[in-house]
Amino acid sequence: MLDLDTIDRLELAVLPTPVQFGRRITEDLDGPRIFVKRDDLTGAGGGGNKVRKLEYVLAEAVASGADSVVSIGVTQSNAMRQLAGTAAGLGLECHCAVITDRFGIDTPDYREGGNIFLTRIFGARVHPCSESDDQRAVIEDIAAGLRSEGKQPFVIPYGISSVTGALGYVRAVREIADQMEPPAAIIHASGSAGTQAGTVVGGAAYLPDTRIIGIDVDAAPERVTDDVGRLSGQVAARLRLETSDLAGRVEVVGGYAGPSYGAVTPEVLEAISLFGRLEGLLLDPVYSGKAAAGLIGLVRKGRFSRDDKVVFVHTGGWPGLFAYRSEIAADLGPG
């Protein structure tokens, strides 16, 4: 396999992120030993999994001579927040197309708080759009307008889920392999495919006996599986990794997303509460909370033995708690 260290990368994240044993959540679930890979602590832009991807993607942008970046996400996009924060640190003008109607919450907290509030603090220019719009056309139109002004924009796909971006999670698995004995499984949220594609390829390269389990957050596990399989093959080709059964390593578990992307379910509320009061960890209701709900569900179904070590990748997203404040507060009760 091509050495990861030969590929251009900007050092934007605080790495390596720690792996911490979740003693109290392990005891509460009476299951495998649960470890948390703290990718909520990557630092830039408020932290989260996208910073790893941006280390490689923004290295390409800078090398191309770009003076601006353009991407697309939803109102409460963790990716847009982290892109805006890292771009600010590099002096790149940031333009975020924001899909305002993908999920049906229309409260001031959702429209103006959480991630979108921080995205604006980081100086990004926000361009509202609709889910019915062609994503590629929207961001290409913004880029064309910037070019007409004499600027050199660099276009980044939804979720920063590209072959280049996924390299960040190949590196993350290498970190895990250096930090602990091989776990039975690595579990994380899976939606736009980049995180899991990189983790699948990293697993094949560095932890061949570890299962990589993505918890579908889009209520579309078949689509997510297809996207992860396609992108992981492209990442493996980029790294010249020879593997006979890469597709067989793609495991996406459905049933924990609720009726749609962004839906707050009882299982997610339980996961947020358990990790909060037992480990002092903040999970968001859209990504890390759903992944934790999946982890809890799989443990309760007996998918792991008590002797197994399971790594939960905490992908961040804590600002989303404030966008869903009313929904989450109603579950907390008097305090």
Q: CA distances (Å), 219 to each of 116, 190, 196, 294, in order?
A: 23, 10, 16, 13
Catalytic residue among 64, 68, 71, 77: 77
Q: Are 250 and 200 in contact (CB under 8 A)?
A: yes
Q: Are 209 and 235 in contact (CB under 8 A)?
A: no
Q: Are 67 and 95 in contact (CB under 8 A)?
A: no
**CA angle, 19 as apex, 262 and 328 as ends, to 5°?**
25
Q: What is the DSSP string of 21-32?
A: E-HHHHHHHTSS
CA dihedral 155, 160, 162, 167 (to 10 degrees): 120
Angle at which helices 163-179 and 221-238 cross, to 10°: 80
**CA angle, 317 as apex, 7 and 236 as ends, to 5°?**
30
CA distance 285 to 290: 6
Whether residue 77 lies in the annotated active site: yes
Q: What is the DSSP string of 220-251?
A: -HHHHHHHHHHHHHHHHHHTT---S-SGGG-E
CA distance 8 to 57: 9
Residue whose token pair is 């006996």: 209
CA distance 64 to 152: 9
Q: What is the DSSP string of 249-297?
A: G-EEE-SSSTTSTT---HHHHHHHHHHHHHH-----TTTHHHHHHHHHH
Phi, psi at 235, each rounded to 5°: -65, -45
- Annotated active-site positions, please? 77
